Amino acid sequence: MEIQTFKNHIRYYTPHHFVYYPIILTFIVFSIYFAFATEDKLIWAFISALFIAMFCLAYMLRQHYALTLQNRIVRLELRYRYFALTWKRFEVIEKQLKDDQLFALRFAPDEELKELIEKTMQENLSGTEIKKAIVHWKGDYERV
């Protein structure tokens, strides 16, 4: 597996991103085309609406369940790592940080985490700024 960095940390799920979504988008395009090009406009409009609903539901469900669990795990990991490094609870600091900041901090190695948290608190760094500030990227190879 390739070493993970800021530039390549986005992950794609091949069956969804490169199979299911292109197929369902093709069906949507053709059904919308047939809704305008044929005399059976009502049935094709209904079919188009079904395909659009299938696309939206598939995307929402896949993302929602996985990301909700992943977000919880990232928070727990940060709490554990911060406590292991400082012997202090992270929950007080965690409440002051936005989600994108918390989720960006997971890529910081232990050697950089404490200082990066302090810098984030002082300068209100965005998630992207935090990721760019990381010198030695700690890859998250098992995320959804």
pLDDT given for residue 93 in this prediction? 92
User: Which residues are CB-contacts of 113 (< 8 A; sequence separation ≥ 6)?
Assistant: 81, 82, 85, 105
pLDDT above 80 for 13: no
DSSP label at 139? Answer: -
The model carries a pTM of: 0.63
pLDDT given for residue 1 in this prediction? 67
pLDDT given for residue 139 in this prediction? 87
Mean pLDDT of the chain: 91
Tokens of 132: 């760019």
Percent of the chain clearing pLDDT 90 (strictly above): 68
75-102 pLDDT, tens digit per residue, is: 999 999 999 999 999 999 999 999 999 9
User: Which residues are CB-contacts of 34 (< 8 A; sequence separation ≥ 6)?
Assistant: 40, 44, 47
From 4-13, 16-25, 102-111, the region with the lowest mean pLDDT: 4-13
Tokens of 61: 């469900």
User: Which one-letter amino acid corresponds to residue 137?
Assistant: W
pLDDT given for residue 91 in this prediction? 94
100-125 pLDDT, tens digit per residue, is: 999 999 999 999 999 999 999 999 99
Percent of the chain clearing pLDDT 70 (strictly above): 99
pLDDT given for residue 79 in this prediction? 96
